[in-house]
């Protein structure tokens, strides 16, 4: 296949970010991608992991991104999470064009706008639950007293205040994931990006974590859930299926239809 050169999008050092239509009034989507491509150079070959993905995710949507191994869903997750940059196309996060930012600017956006929840929890083994939750605030330069208060509030929101002084090895898998979710919430991000959040949990604990994500959605949080498990995806209200680097289907889930019916939409 004759693909365009696999070069990174030119970065911008402009202090004035470009805003998407509707951003100034808060009417625009929290996530908008337009013709998003990611091409990797593999020796003499070019491999297109994403092929022109365009999508909108509105504020307070609960969306699952699904696809088999090699479909491009992880690549899309990395772009949405500002962990990678597209080869071409545009990505707007909360009204700001982030596909044109440099590495330092992307790091700032990640810490400010995105709360990550990973399958492996990614907690510091020697730190307490409270200190683990505080970490994004440390990077943001928040004063110690405010850090502690906000971290405590985040732990309270996931019903784990009583375990604030426990280290990860003193917590169950479900409790560790709750700490990770509290850490994701502490910076009051625009979106929660959950990558296989129940992958290391048993079925009962998985149901508890999915119930917690539902509760966070009810409180107004935008949630993007990346999974290959259809039963986990059904907890979301919309499912985007990725295949061969493109959107194969974009549909409302059973739970999403039930929510709409309940709301009279």
Q: What is the pLDDT along the chain (265 residues), one digit of tens a residue?
A: 445 444 433 333 333 445 544 544 455 899 999 999 999 999 999 999 999 999 999 999 999 999 998 999 999 999 999 999 999 999 999 999 999 899 999 999 999 999 999 989 999 999 999 999 999 999 889 999 999 999 999 999 999 999 999 999 999 999 999 999 999 999 999 999 999 999 999 999 999 999 999 999 999 999 999 998 999 999 999 999 999 999 999 999 999 999 889 888 6
Specify the pLDDT at position 10: 37
Specify the pLDDT at position 28: 81
Measure the CA–CA gap between 104 and 66, rounded to whole angstroms.
30
In the CATH hierarchy, which fold is given to the domain comprising 23-263? Rossmann fold (3.40.50)
Specify the pLDDT at position 262: 87
Measure the CA–CA gap between 46 and 38, rounded to whole angstroms.
10
Measure the CA–CA gap between 260 and 254, rounded to whole angstroms.
10
Specify the pLDDT at position 45: 92
Q: Residue 260 carries which DSSP code?
A: H
Sheet holding 31-42, edge to edge: 45-57, 31-42, 88-93, 96-97
Specify the pLDDT at position 16: 43
């Amino acid at each position: 296949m004759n693909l365009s050169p696999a070069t990174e999008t030119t970065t911008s050092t402009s202090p004035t970010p470009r805003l998407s239509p509707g951003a100034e009034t808060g009417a625009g989507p929290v996530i908008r991608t337009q013709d998003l491509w990611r091409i990797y150079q593999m020796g003499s070959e070019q491999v297109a992991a994403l092929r022109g993905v365009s999508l909108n995710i509105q504020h307070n949507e609960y969306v699952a991104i699904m696809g088999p191994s090699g479909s491009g869903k992880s690549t899309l997750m990395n772009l949405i999470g500002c962990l990678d940059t597209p080869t071409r196309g545009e990505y707007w996060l909360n009204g700001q064009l982030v596909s044109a930012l440099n590495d330092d600017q992307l790091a700032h956006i990640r810490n400010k706008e995105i709360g990550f929840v990973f399958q492996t929890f990614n907690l510091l083994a020697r730190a307490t639950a409270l200190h683990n939750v505080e970490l994004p605030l440390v990077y943001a330069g928040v004063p110690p007293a405010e850090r502690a208060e906000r971290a405590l509030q985040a732990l309270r929101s996931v019903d784990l205040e009583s375990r604030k002084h426990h280290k990860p090895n003193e917590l169950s898998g479900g409790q560790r994931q709750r700490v990770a979710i509290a850490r994701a919430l502490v910076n009051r991000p625009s979106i929660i990006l959950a990558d296989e959040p129940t992958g290391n949990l048993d079925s009962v604990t998985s149901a508890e974590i999915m119930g917690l994500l539902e509760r966070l959605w009810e409180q107004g949080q935008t949630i993007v859930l990346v999974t290959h498990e259809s039963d986990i995806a059904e907890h979301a209200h919309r499912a985007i299926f990725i295949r061969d680097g493109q959107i194969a289907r974009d549909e409302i889930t059973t739970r999403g239809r039930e929510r709409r019916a309940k709301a009279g939409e």
